[in-house]
């Protein structure tokens, strides 16, 4: 369309930007920007579900700037809209007219996102991101489904049902962002790769104004009207390696991303920015981002305990929220076995974790280990908020469904065991056991620690708690012993723990038991 209408919203109104760049091939729109100078711009905002308009009125008049673009940037008066949130994704319809012609319409939502004292806040409430990083569109889906609104709703609705509250897409797809808006799924989006004209070790050679315009018009503007999009990434890996903060040229790349962040956040300050996601520690934004594949490419799941140190991401004068927008790995294929493409680094990892096990065992072992590492990564990260209050989210980068190619509907994708693990480890109110002596003699005393993490969807604290535990035969589920004890209150976004002294009955037979 000849007009572009963008709405940058908060919980008290919107800043609306209307631009007209010139004639199009459609005769009725073949007007010059100069001919629209002084044309009145009016807007109405009404609930998408119907009902009385929230507001309507004149925003001002178009003016032609030095670049020959007819433009208006104006703010609505103070409004009292229903807030968009994952729990209540309230949407509105914005209709803008210029003179006697319809300029454009957009679906919008009103919400705020901020980084304050090292924490993420949505609508003024602390937020922990419980995510999934490998998602459609594309990624070998059939063309008929890749941009299907129904498929997008089915897929995101399933993920929300297993506790996921944020996803990352490969590109700013309107169908997928519309579905996220409707369902209340948060989105981490932006540019998935090196900036246009850049390499892994050098920033673009074009003038900064050109890079700013590319980011603004090509990358970010298609996402600006979607309240679900709360995080922008300015760079990440794609064909080129990620831009490491230790690599050659890192200082120049960091300076470029810092400047882009400064310019772009003046234009859109309704999202948070990650400048260099992953191995660049997020440089060039408000969020410190890590990519850590402990337990897959290197080290073990125990390395997630290094997140207990707040200084792991301390690189500014003030603390920043810490996110792990990639973790876990363990890339299993349709049959459950690890993917072993010859041009990748997967074979070495496969040998580490499933070795030379028979083919019949490779799939079950790989799927079990994929789920187990995801559970450890998620629960350790959430538990460690008691030690490191800046931990703000984790998005496992792992293949969570069996089938992508050749499917005809979402049900054909078939979830892997890792998604059942999500359902346990992503529970908003999480009870997580920590026990370092899982192989013991009957009659001994074990000392497991019970952690409770309160990310309740309604934002309420937990009071008057009691902990009921039992030891059960893993096969028959027959309880052998148990007890009830009191447990500390847990405020919203808080954690609490209690270490128990559990005397095992001396009469227990050899076998496997479950602590419930």
b (16+ CB within 10 A) / e for 327-361: bbbbbbebebbbbeeeeeebeebbeebbeeeeeee
Strand intervals (E) in 201-317: 229-235, 272-276, 288-292
* Phi (first) and psi of residue 89, to 5 degrees: -80, 75
Contact yes or no for 487/467 (Cβ under 8 A): yes
pLDDT in tens, the chain (516 residues): 689 999 999 999 999 999 998 654 444 555 788 888 999 999 999 999 999 999 999 999 999 988 889 999 999 999 999 999 999 999 999 999 999 888 899 999 999 999 999 999 999 999 999 999 999 999 999 999 999 999 999 999 999 999 999 999 988 899 999 999 999 999 999 888 888 898 878 889 999 999 999 999 999 999 999 999 999 999 885 434 455 555 677 788 889 999 999 999 999 999 999 988 887 777 789 999 999 999 999 999 999 999 999 888 766 678 999 999 999 999 999 999 998 876 677 888 999 899 999 989 999 999 999 999 999 999 999 999 999 999 999 999 999 999 999 999 999 999 999 999 999 999 999 999 999 999 999 999 999 999 999 999 999 999 999 999 999 999 999 888 899 999 999 999 999 999 999 999 999 999 999 999
Whether omega for the bond prior to residue 462 falls within 30 degrees of 0, making it cis, is no
What gap in Å lies between CA 486 and CA 87, rounded to an integer? 30
- Tell how strand 465-473 and strand 479-487 pair up: antiparallel
Contact yes or no for 338/405 (Cβ under 8 A): no
What gap in Å lies between CA 384 and CA 514, rounded to an integer? 24
What gap in Å lies between CA 192 and CA 420, rounded to an integer? 28
- Select from 110, 113, 15, 21 the least CA-distant residue to 68: 21
**Chain-centre distance of CA 180, in angstroms?**
11
Structure token digits, residue 492: 């919203």
Q: Cα torsion for 328, 331, 334, 337, to the nearest 10°?
A: -100
Contact yes or no for 242/280 (Cβ under 8 A): yes
What gap in Å lies between CA 455 and CA 394, rounded to an integer? 14
What gap in Å lies between CA 192 and CA 419, rounded to an integer? 24
- Select from 212, 210, 143 the least CA-distant residue to 173: 143
pTM of the model: 0.94
Residue count of the chain, please give it: 516
Structure token digits, residue 169: 């897409």
């Amino acid at each position: 369309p000849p007009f572009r209408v963008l709405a940058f919203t908060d919980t008290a109104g919107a800043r609306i930007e209307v631009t007209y760049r010139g004639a199009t091939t459609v005769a009725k729109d073949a007007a010059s920007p100069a001919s629209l100078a002084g044309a009145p711009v009016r807007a109405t905002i009404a609930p998408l579900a119907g009902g009385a308009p929230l507001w309507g009125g004149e925003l001002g008049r178009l003016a032609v700037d030095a670049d020959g673009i007819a433009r208006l940037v104006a703010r609505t008066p103070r409004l009292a809209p229903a807030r968009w949130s994952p729990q209540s994704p309230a949407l509105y319809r914005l209709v803008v007219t210029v003179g006697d012609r319809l300029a454009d319409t957009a679906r919008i939502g009103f919400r705020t996102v901020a980084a304050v004292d090292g924490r993420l806040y949505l609508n003024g409430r602390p937020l922990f991101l419980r995510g999934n990083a490998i998602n459609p569109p594309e990624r070998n889906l059939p063309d008929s489904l890749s941009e299907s609104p129904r498929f997008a709703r089915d897929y995101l609705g399933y993920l929300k049902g297993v506790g996921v509250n944020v996803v990352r897409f490969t590109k700013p797809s309107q169908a997928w962002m519309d579905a996220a808006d409707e369902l209340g799924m948060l989105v981490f989006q932006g540019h998935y790769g090196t900036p246009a004209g850049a390499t892994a070790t050098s920033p673009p050679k074009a003038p900064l104004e050109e890079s700013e315009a590319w980011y603004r018009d090509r990358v970010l503007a298609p996402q600006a009207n979607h309240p679900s999009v709360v995080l922008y990434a300015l760079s990440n890996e794609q064909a080129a390696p990620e831009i490491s903060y230790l690599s050659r040229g890192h200082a120049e790349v960091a300076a470029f991303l810092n400047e882009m962040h400064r310019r772009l956040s003046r234009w859109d300050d309704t999202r948070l920015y990650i400048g260099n996601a992953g191995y660049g520690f997020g440089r060039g934004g408000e969020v410190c981002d890590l990519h850590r594949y402990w337990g897959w490419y290197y080290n073990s799941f125990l390395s997630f305990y290094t997140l207990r140190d707040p200084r792991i991401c301390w690189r500014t004068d003030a603390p920043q929220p810490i996110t792990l927008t990639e973790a876990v790995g363990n890339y299993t294929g349709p049959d459950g076995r690890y993917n072993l493409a010859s041009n990748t680094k997967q074979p070495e990892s496969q040998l580490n974790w499933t070795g030379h096990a028979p083919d019949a065992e490779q799939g079950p072992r790989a799927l079990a280990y994929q789920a187990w590492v995801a559970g450890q990564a998620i629960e350790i990260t959430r538990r460690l908020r008691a030690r490191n209050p800046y931990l703000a989210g984790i998005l496992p980068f792992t293949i969570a469904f069996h089938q992508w190619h050749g499917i005809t509907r979402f049900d054909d994708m078939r979830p892997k065991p890792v998604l059942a693990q999500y359902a346990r480890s992503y529970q908003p109110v999480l009870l997580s056991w920590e026990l370092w002596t899982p192989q013991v003699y009957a009659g001994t005393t074990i000392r497991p620690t019970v952690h409770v993490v309160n990310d309740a969807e309604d934002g309420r604290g937990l009071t008057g708690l009691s902990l009921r535990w039992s030891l059960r035969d893993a096969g028959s589920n027959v309880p052998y012993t148990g007890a009830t004890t009191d447990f500390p209150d847990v405020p919203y976004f808080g954690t609490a723990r209690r270490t128990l002294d559990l005397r095992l009955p001396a009469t227990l037979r050899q076998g496997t038991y479950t602590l419930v």
